[in-house]
Amino acid sequence: MKNYMTIDGVPAAALEGSMRDFRVLEGVDLLARCNAFHEWQDTRRHSGTWPFSRATETGPAASCAVRDDRGNLCTGVNFASQDYLSLSSHPAVLEAAKAAIDEFGVHSAGSPALVGNTSISVALEDRLARFLKMKEAVLFPTGWAAGFGVIKGLVRSHDYIVMDALAHACLQVGAQAATRNVVLFRHLDVEHCRTRLQDIRKRDPKAGIMIVTEGLFSMDSDTPDLGAMQALAHEFGAVLMVDVAHDLGCLGEDGTGHIGIQDMLGKVDLVMGSFSKTFGSNGGFVATNSRAVKEYLRFYSPSCTFSNALSPAQVATITKALDIVESSEGAVLRGRLMHNILALRAGIRERGMDCYGDPSAIVAVKTGDEALARMTARALPELGLISNLVEFPAVGKGLARFRLQVMAGHTDAEITAAADRMKAAMQLGQARLDAGYDQTETRLAG
Ligand SMILES: Cc1ncc(COP(=O)(O)O)c(C=O)c1O
């Protein structure tokens, strides 16, 4: 038996600690040592402060039902799905996916290096390259695979990677897998990146260097000066790689994201992205101006070479989504999305909360302290807001936030409800914390 202090029935252990505590595990038994994490997770799960691994009952609609991993159902406005232009339920997209299944079946049945391509995947690579005003594009099974693969495919152990400190996990893991020579520069800081490059060039004038950044950072909703970064790459004989997972398709007049907004179309050395945010499907890509690079990636990027190609239904979904993104309907959807984004950001601020960064489909509401964030997350289902809590390792400790992801399909009423409910949940969470420890609960350990 163990004694637990509780706040409104939530054990202190659920409000303390973070996933960081279980990153490095000791002990010979690789399986048994997972137990400590599971015990901590269970303490959170059973106190309603583990808002992860939930499942939609209805698909990612603007209002929907989700079931948590204890089996509890919550219905509410959904700001936790990534479907920025609401294309995953667009009738033409659904129709295209069904037609592809009728024509090609459900499976690509091979790696793109072998015979996993279909005529429609080959055509999609071409379409994508043209959309980005690049010469070539190569598809990957997921955005994660593309981010990992472009780095691991091109960078060798004697090369260097100079990376924005907040780059996505797929880029960080790809960098670690490619070389020990990984240096981070301060988020968005071009001058700090220059210092890093100068240091490397002093030591090693002949090394290959890849600079890695994002078009729109997915936790902070901010953007580097891509022109300055590319100029820096040229100056130091490096190449620039930009991950456009969160801005391609949904930002910019023509949907080309920050690369287009900053007049850099066709001018960035390497562009990688994901289809999972705006294009209604799993999948990723790398675009380049070199046929040699495309071919090299196909055969030396392990997450492409040794992984099954996108399925025909996925390719058809992405292709139809790209048709819409490039059409006048796409422009209308982006207009609707931006209207929703601005309304939500204004609603958050009017209610005395704050959000990170610049207007994008990611409206990250500042929370900070993990205890407050978890108490707030616990209140959200009662209030009918489905939103993702982001805490370590996705952001630093003490920088927890709620990431509201806006869709073109949200109505004005759903936007207002999200702002109202976010505020109410945060107030409730704070009030419960302020009330302090209310009892000592005794329960079985383990
Ligand atoms: C910046 C960034 N890059 C890459 C990915 C990976 O994309 P996918 O979900 O398609 O694997 C994500 C998704 O979380 C992301 O946010």
In the chain, where are the structural domains located?
2-81+329-443, 91-326
Find the DSSP H helices in 267-398: 291-300, 302-305, 312-326, 328-350, 370-383
Ligand 1 centre from 329 Cα, in Å?
Answer: 25
Mean pLDDT of 339-366: 98
| Mean of per-residue pLDDT scores for the chain | 95
Architecture field, domain 2-81+329-443: Alpha-Beta Complex (3.90)
Q: How many A from CA of 440 to the centre of ligand 1?
A: 42
Question: For 13-28, how does the pLDDT look when each residue is reduced to its tens digit (9 = 90+)?
Answer: 999 999 999 999 999 9
Contact between 49 and 378 under an 8 Å Cβ cutoff? The reply is yes
The CATH number that domain 91-326 falls under is 3.40.640.10
- pTM greater than the 0.85 cutoff: yes
Please work out whether the CB of residue 248 comes within 6 Å of at least one atom of ligand 1: no
pLDDT at 444: 44
The answer to whether the beta carbons of residues 363 and 341 sit under 8 Å apart is: yes
Specify the ligand 1 atom closest to the Cα of 167: 1
Q: Distance (Å, rounded) from C-alpha 259 to C-alpha 247?
A: 9
6-60 pLDDT tens trace: 898 899 999 999 999 999 999 999 999 999 999 999 999 999 999 999 999 989 9
- 156 class by beta-carbon count within 10 Å (0-12 exposed, 13-18 middle, 19+ buried): exposed
| pLDDT tens digits, one per residue of 203-242 | 999 999 999 999 999 999 999 999 999 999 999 999 999 9
Nearest CA to ligand 1 atom 3: 245
Q: Are the CB atoms for 179 and 155 separated by under 8 Å?
A: yes
Is the Cβ atom of 168 under 6 angstroms away from ligand 1?
yes
Q: Is the CB of 284 under 6 A from ligand 1?
A: yes
Structure confidence at residue 446 (pLDDT):
37
User: What was the pLDDT predicted at 72?
Assistant: 94
Over residues 295-332, the pLDDT tens digits come to: 999 999 999 999 999 999 999 999 999 999 999 999 99
Predicted local distance difference test score (pLDDT) of residue 4? 62
Decide whether any atom of ligand 1 lies within 6 Å of the 272 Cβ: no
